[in-house]
Amino acid sequence: MGLSIYAECEEDFLEDYALIATKVGETVLKHFSCPFDVQLSLFIVGEEAIRTANHECRGLDKVTDVLSFPNLPFTPGNVAAFAEIREGDADLFDPDSGELILGDIMICAPKVYAQAEEYGHGALREYAFLLAHSLLHLLGFDHEAEEDRLRMEELQEELLKEAGYERI
Protein backbone atom coordinates (compact mmCIF):
# COMPACT_ATOMS: atom_id res chain seq x y z
CA MET A 1 0.00 0.00 0.00
CA GLY A 2 1.39 3.36 -0.99
CA LEU A 3 0.67 5.72 1.87
CA SER A 4 1.36 9.44 1.76
CA ILE A 5 0.99 11.16 5.12
CA TYR A 6 0.85 14.88 5.60
CA ALA A 7 1.06 15.89 9.27
CA GLU A 8 -0.25 19.43 9.23
CA CYS A 9 -1.11 19.87 12.90
CA GLU A 10 0.88 21.93 15.34
CA GLU A 11 0.98 19.49 18.23
CA ASP A 12 2.97 16.27 18.36
CA PHE A 13 0.95 13.30 17.27
CA LEU A 14 1.20 9.60 18.02
CA GLU A 15 4.72 8.25 17.63
CA ASP A 16 3.85 5.37 15.30
CA TYR A 17 1.02 6.99 13.36
CA ALA A 18 2.40 5.94 9.95
CA LEU A 19 2.90 2.33 11.03
CA ILE A 20 -0.61 2.20 12.53
CA ALA A 21 -2.13 3.65 9.34
CA THR A 22 -0.31 1.09 7.22
CA LYS A 23 -1.37 -1.80 9.45
CA VAL A 24 -5.03 -0.78 9.57
CA GLY A 25 -5.08 0.01 5.84
CA GLU A 26 -3.55 -3.32 4.86
CA THR A 27 -5.93 -5.17 7.20
CA VAL A 28 -8.97 -3.52 5.60
CA LEU A 29 -7.75 -4.15 2.05
CA LYS A 30 -6.94 -7.78 2.82
CA HIS A 31 -10.32 -8.27 4.51
CA PHE A 32 -12.07 -7.18 1.32
CA SER A 33 -9.66 -9.06 -0.98
CA CYS A 34 -8.49 -5.97 -2.83
CA PRO A 35 -6.51 -7.28 -5.83
CA PHE A 36 -4.62 -4.03 -6.45
CA ASP A 37 -1.71 -2.11 -5.03
CA VAL A 38 -3.40 0.88 -3.47
CA GLN A 39 -2.49 4.52 -2.98
CA LEU A 40 -3.90 6.44 -0.02
CA SER A 41 -3.32 9.98 1.23
CA LEU A 42 -3.71 10.74 4.94
CA PHE A 43 -3.79 14.23 6.37
CA ILE A 44 -3.35 14.71 10.13
CA VAL A 45 -4.71 18.19 10.80
CA GLY A 46 -5.82 20.60 13.49
CA GLU A 47 -9.33 21.76 14.25
CA GLU A 48 -9.37 24.79 11.96
CA ALA A 49 -8.29 22.82 8.88
CA ILE A 50 -10.89 20.10 9.35
CA ARG A 51 -13.58 22.64 10.17
CA THR A 52 -12.81 24.50 6.93
CA ALA A 53 -12.85 21.27 4.89
CA ASN A 54 -16.08 20.14 6.54
CA HIS A 55 -17.68 23.50 5.71
CA GLU A 56 -16.44 23.55 2.11
CA CYS A 57 -17.22 19.91 1.32
CA ARG A 58 -20.28 19.16 3.42
CA GLY A 59 -21.71 22.57 4.27
CA LEU A 60 -21.21 21.90 8.00
CA ASP A 61 -19.37 24.68 9.79
CA LYS A 62 -18.07 22.60 12.67
CA VAL A 63 -15.08 20.56 13.74
CA THR A 64 -15.37 16.84 13.05
CA ASP A 65 -13.10 13.90 13.82
CA VAL A 66 -12.54 12.48 10.34
CA LEU A 67 -13.43 13.18 6.72
CA SER A 68 -13.22 10.75 3.82
CA PHE A 69 -12.79 11.67 0.19
CA PRO A 70 -13.31 8.52 -1.93
CA ASN A 71 -11.99 8.19 -5.45
CA LEU A 72 -13.74 4.91 -6.29
CA PRO A 73 -17.20 4.48 -7.76
CA PHE A 74 -18.46 2.10 -5.06
CA THR A 75 -22.08 2.07 -4.08
CA PRO A 76 -22.58 1.75 -0.31
CA GLY A 77 -20.99 -1.46 0.90
CA ASN A 78 -20.43 -2.96 -2.57
CA VAL A 79 -16.77 -3.85 -2.23
CA ALA A 80 -17.36 -6.59 -4.76
CA ALA A 81 -16.95 -3.65 -7.14
CA PHE A 82 -13.20 -4.32 -7.00
CA ALA A 83 -13.96 -6.95 -9.64
CA GLU A 84 -15.44 -4.27 -11.90
CA ILE A 85 -12.35 -2.06 -11.80
CA ARG A 86 -10.05 -2.38 -14.78
CA GLU A 87 -6.34 -1.68 -14.53
CA GLY A 88 -5.33 1.37 -16.46
CA ASP A 89 -8.57 3.31 -15.93
CA ALA A 90 -7.15 6.83 -16.02
CA ASP A 91 -9.52 8.14 -13.32
CA LEU A 92 -8.76 5.38 -10.85
CA PHE A 93 -5.06 4.57 -11.19
CA ASP A 94 -1.97 6.69 -10.67
CA PRO A 95 -0.23 6.85 -14.07
CA ASP A 96 3.24 6.85 -12.48
CA SER A 97 2.91 4.14 -9.82
CA GLY A 98 0.09 2.09 -11.33
CA GLU A 99 -1.58 2.04 -7.91
CA LEU A 100 -5.34 2.21 -7.47
CA ILE A 101 -6.11 5.63 -5.94
CA LEU A 102 -8.36 4.80 -3.01
CA GLY A 103 -8.86 8.39 -1.86
CA ASP A 104 -7.95 10.77 0.93
CA ILE A 105 -8.53 10.72 4.68
CA MET A 106 -8.36 13.75 6.94
CA ILE A 107 -8.10 13.12 10.70
CA CYS A 108 -8.30 15.84 13.34
CA ALA A 109 -5.49 15.22 15.86
CA PRO A 110 -7.12 17.10 18.78
CA LYS A 111 -10.32 15.08 18.29
CA VAL A 112 -8.34 11.83 18.48
CA TYR A 113 -7.17 12.73 21.98
CA ALA A 114 -10.50 14.19 23.13
CA GLN A 115 -12.52 11.19 21.94
CA ALA A 116 -10.04 8.72 23.39
CA GLU A 117 -10.60 10.32 26.78
CA GLU A 118 -14.36 10.53 26.27
CA TYR A 119 -14.66 6.85 25.30
CA GLY A 120 -12.19 5.61 27.89
CA HIS A 121 -9.50 4.12 25.67
CA GLY A 122 -6.11 5.25 24.41
CA ALA A 123 -5.41 7.67 21.60
CA LEU A 124 -3.77 4.90 19.58
CA ARG A 125 -6.99 2.88 19.60
CA GLU A 126 -9.08 5.94 18.72
CA TYR A 127 -6.78 6.75 15.81
CA ALA A 128 -6.98 3.15 14.55
CA PHE A 129 -10.78 3.30 14.86
CA LEU A 130 -10.99 6.53 12.84
CA LEU A 131 -8.76 5.02 10.17
CA ALA A 132 -10.93 1.88 9.89
CA HIS A 133 -14.09 4.00 9.86
CA SER A 134 -12.76 6.27 7.14
CA LEU A 135 -11.42 3.41 5.04
CA LEU A 136 -14.88 1.83 5.09
CA HIS A 137 -16.26 5.13 3.77
CA LEU A 138 -13.66 5.05 0.99
CA LEU A 139 -14.97 1.58 0.11
CA GLY A 140 -18.54 2.85 -0.20
CA PHE A 141 -19.93 2.12 3.26
CA ASP A 142 -22.06 4.69 5.03
CA HIS A 143 -24.11 4.94 8.19
CA GLU A 144 -27.11 6.96 7.05
CA ALA A 145 -29.65 4.17 7.63
CA GLU A 146 -29.79 2.29 10.92
CA GLU A 147 -29.10 -1.05 9.23
CA ASP A 148 -26.03 0.41 7.51
CA ARG A 149 -24.81 1.98 10.76
CA LEU A 150 -25.02 -1.35 12.58
CA ARG A 151 -23.23 -3.18 9.75
CA MET A 152 -20.49 -0.55 9.66
CA GLU A 153 -20.02 -0.72 13.45
CA GLU A 154 -19.76 -4.50 13.27
CA LEU A 155 -17.19 -4.29 10.48
CA GLN A 156 -15.16 -1.64 12.31
CA GLU A 157 -14.86 -3.83 15.40
CA GLU A 158 -14.02 -6.88 13.30
CA LEU A 159 -11.32 -5.00 11.38
CA LEU A 160 -9.82 -3.47 14.52
CA LYS A 161 -9.66 -6.91 16.11
CA GLU A 162 -7.92 -8.28 12.99
CA ALA A 163 -5.43 -5.40 13.13
CA GLY A 164 -4.84 -5.84 16.89
CA TYR A 165 -6.59 -2.68 18.09
CA GLU A 166 -9.74 -4.04 19.69
CA ARG A 167 -11.31 -2.53 22.77
CA ILE A 168 -10.05 -3.99 26.00
* Per-residue model confidence as pLDDT tens digits over 131-141: 999 999 999 89
- Distance of alpha carbon 100 from alpha carbon 58, whole angstroms: 25
Query: Does 80 map to a domain?
Result: yes
Arithmetic mean of pLDDT, 69-83: 76
The pLDDT score that the predictor gives to residue 91 is 85
Supply the pTM of this predicted model: 0.93
Which strand (E) or helix (H) includes residue 118?
A: helix 109-119
Whether the pLDDT of residue 86 is over 90: the answer is no
Arithmetic mean of pLDDT, 30-58: 95
Query: Does 168 map to a domain?
Result: no
Domain assignment of residue 126, given as a range? 2-163
Residue 107 and residue 24 in contact, taking contact as beta carbons nearer than 8 Å: no
CATH number of the domain that 151 lies in? 3.40.390.30
Query: Does 17 map to a domain?
Result: yes
Query: Does 135 map to a domain?
Result: yes
Please tell me the total count of domains within the chain: 1
Q: Work out the pLDDT band at 78, boundaries 50, 70, 90.
A: low
Residue 122 and residue 116 in contact, taking contact as beta carbons nearer than 8 Å: yes
The pLDDT score that the predictor gives to residue 88 is 66
